[in-house]
Structure 1
């Protein structure tokens, strides 16, 4: 497969050409020249873009992703960085699960008003204290029942 122009790369990668230009400006990717006015890229760009997209989906910053490539542009991913991100995701998952459980409880709560529900009031107090923004464990764990 020969060089790919920017429109082809954008279409195949599902990424706008403007994002490709931005990634090039940030040093995440590099074109290998031009065909007329269009940038062209080596075929390996699609795999590199897939790694960048995967990194973004996992929550890595562009600077962190840039550090995952060596001087030759080969993937050189720090395993400690991956473990640290996995730990961050664990915290986020716990917080989201607690929020999900709170929403389900609020939706199914038999109290006449949410403000009359002791569990919902604990969630509101946690939010008011800023505990929800600080991380997992801030939302009271709710009992799992089939009615939720």
Structure 2
């Protein structure tokens, strides 16, 4: 079996070597050997890195993502957790569409003042009741 060094993995995955070292340090990925001082990885690491990237985009923390792999690095995806996250994303999409529509109305409102516009007043009240807050907070500041 032929292995890739950390530079090749970085090039093929688009992930910086520093992030790869961090992922290895935290147990997300595992190098299989070393060639001199350079870490060597099996080809399966590229699939793991794709899943890590998707997990991060979906808003999972690195700790949550780590729990989605078994001891051998094989994906062991928790279907119920994935359904819950998909439902949360659906809610975010709904809220973001409503926010988009509000912004478009405000930008295009023909009223001389937004304070005179009944639609604007209604939208502001709805937004306040929903408590539009950023839900896309990063759960991890690491790579």
TM-score relative to the length of structure 2: 0.84
Against the structure 1 CA distance between its residues 59 and 21, is the aligned structure 2 distance closer, same or farther, given a 3 Å change threshold?
same
CA distance in 2, matches of 1:126, 1:43: 51
- Hey, what does 1:103 align to over in structure 2? 103
| CA offsets 1:84-142 (integer angstroms, 9 cap, x no match) | 0011111111110111111111121111122322222334445556722298xxxxxxx
Higher relative contact order (CA 8 A, sep 6+): 2
1:1-148 equivalent positions in 2, closer than 5 A = 2-126=2-126, 131-133=131-133
CA distance in 1, matches of 2:115, 2:16: 46
Against the structure 1 CA distance between its residues 28 and 134, is the aligned structure 2 distance closer, same or farther, given a 3 Å change threshold?
closer
What is the SS of the residue equivalent to 1:34?
Answer: strand
What is the root-mean-square deviation of aligned Cα atoms in Å? 2.0
Number of residue pairs the alignment of both structures matches = 135
Specify every segment of 5 or more residues in structure 1 that has no aligned partner in the other structure, as ranges: 136-148
TM-score relative to the length of structure 1: 0.82
| CA offsets 1:35-63 (integer angstroms, 9 cap, x no match) | 22221111111111111111111111111
